[in-house]
Structure 1
Amino acid sequence: MASNETHYSLPRASFDDPVKLLIVVAPYYKDIADQLVAGAIAEVEAAGGFHETIEVPGALEIPSAIGIAGRMAEFDGYVALGCVIRGETTHYETVCNDSSRGLTLLGLQGLCIGNGILTVENYDQAAVRAEAAGQNKGGGAAAAALHLVALTRRWGSARKGVGFKPAREDEIAGGQAG
């Protein structure tokens, strides 16, 4: 059974200067979301960091909120939290795939994101994974974001030509607009 397996976890990231993370949560399943947030906050605070938490309507809005914050606010990293439970339609696949894809694209642009959006078959699976005193997937997502922030600080400022870079608004198909 998967819950009896042991997994290796990296040691907690440490920082000379405090880290500030934005926790973005979709509280559709409020009690699940509250456990995820509790785990994330505990991990951020254990690393000596600070956090701000915002709520969005659903998992599909999480990447948009993180993208907006990445452009308009000053955070070192981001924690994406929510829960998607399979239903009777294909909406489950759309929400799971598109929220994950959005977070991945933001990560490739250089944002430090821990993905704690649970994608499960039923409520019981979500409850087990979310419990802050149990599997603590919220804490795990915060730890992932913190490790990415640590790597970013270790390697310094961004260099040209590394990683995915979205086109500038003034560029069209490799040429200059206008």
Structure 2
Amino acid sequence: MATAEVHYTLPLPTFDKPVKLLIVVAPYYKDIADNLVAGARSVGAACGAEVDLVEVPGALEIPSAIALAERLADYDGYVALGCVIRGETTHYDTVCNDSSRAISLLGLQGACIGNGILTVENRAQAEVRADPAGQNKGGGAAAAALHLIALSRTWAGKTKGIGFRP
């Protein structure tokens, strides 16, 4: 059982310059979303990040909102939060796969995103994972985004040679 395993967690990064973090949440299951947001806000605050929040209708809209913010706003990173609980149809698979794939593609394009969209079999699994005093997946997603921001700042301004020029 996964809850009995011990996992290593990286220490939170530190920053010389302020960090602006955008949480994009789909509050379809409001109580679960609120717990995810609380965990993410807490981790953001622990790193001194300025944290903004926007809500979207569902998990499929989260990557679109992040893409818009990446193009039109001034954020260093993003936290994607929501919950998809398996139902009776294949819609679950579509929402899980497409939201995850779109977030991954945005990350490959350089956006610093922590993915905290829960994909679970039932509400009980979601409640345990969302609880800030439990598995705190919202906080974990914020930590992932902050680690990517720190990494991008480490490599910012460094250029590789083009052609024969160094």
TM bracket (short chain): over 0.9
Per the alignment, in what secondary structure is the counterpart of residue 79 of structure 2?
Answer: strand
Structure 1: runs of 5+ lacking an equivalent:
161-178
Per the alignment, in what secondary structure is the counterpart of residue 133 of structure 1?
Answer: coil
How far, CA to CA, are the matches of 2:138 and 2:18 in structure 1? 20
How far, CA to CA, are the matches of 1:40 and 1:159 in structure 2? 33
Q: Which residue of 1 aligns with 2:34?
A: 34
Per the alignment, in what secondary structure is the counterpart of residue 21 of structure 1?
Answer: strand
Per the alignment, in what secondary structure is the counterpart of residue 64 of structure 1?
Answer: helix
The one-letter amino acid of 1:25's match is V
Pair 1:23 & 2:23 matched: yes
Per the alignment, in what secondary structure is the counterpart of residue 82 of structure 1?
Answer: strand
TM-score by length of 1: 0.88
How far, CA to CA, are the matches of 1:132 and 1:18 in structure 2? 24
Q: Which residue of 2 aligns with 1:9?
A: 9
Q: Which residue of 1 aligns with 2:133?
A: 133
Q: Give the number of equivalent residue pairs.
A: 161
How far, CA to CA, are the matches of 1:94 and 1:159 in structure 2? 39
The one-letter amino acid of 2:115's match is N
Pair 1:116 & 2:116 matched: yes
Q: Which residue of 2 aligns with 1:82?
A: 82
The one-letter amino acid of 1:65's match is A
CA positional deviation for 1:157: 3.6
How far, CA to CA, are the matches of 1:60 and 1:158 in structure 2? 35
How far, CA to CA, are the matches of 1:65 and 1:85 in structure 2? 21
**1:54-93 equivalent positions in 2, closer than 5 A:** 54-93=54-93
Per the alignment, in what secondary structure is the counterpart of residue 147 of structure 1?
Answer: helix
How far, CA to CA, are the matches of 1:113 and 1:90 in structure 2? 26
Q: Compute the RMSD of aligned alpha carbons.
A: 1.3
Q: Deviations 1:25-49 (Å, cap 9, x if unpaired)? A: 0000000000000000000000011
Per the alignment, in what secondary structure is the counterpart of residue 54 of structure 1?
Answer: strand
Structure 2: runs of 5+ lacking an equivalent:
161-166
Per the alignment, in what secondary structure is the counterpart of residue 78 of structure 1?
Answer: strand
How far, CA to CA, are the matches of 1:84 and 1:142 in structure 2? 19
Per the alignment, in what secondary structure is the counterpart of residue 78 of structure 2?
Answer: strand
Q: Which residue of 2 aligns with 1:103?
A: 103
Q: Which residue of 2 aligns with 1:175?
A: none
CA positional deviation for 1:59: 0.1
Q: Deviations 1:31-82 (Å, cap 9, x if unpaired)? A: 0000000000000000011110000000000000000000000000000000
Q: Which residue of 2 aligns with 1:152?
A: 152
TM-score by length of 2: 0.94
The one-letter amino acid of 1:86's match is R
The one-letter amino acid of 1:98's match is D
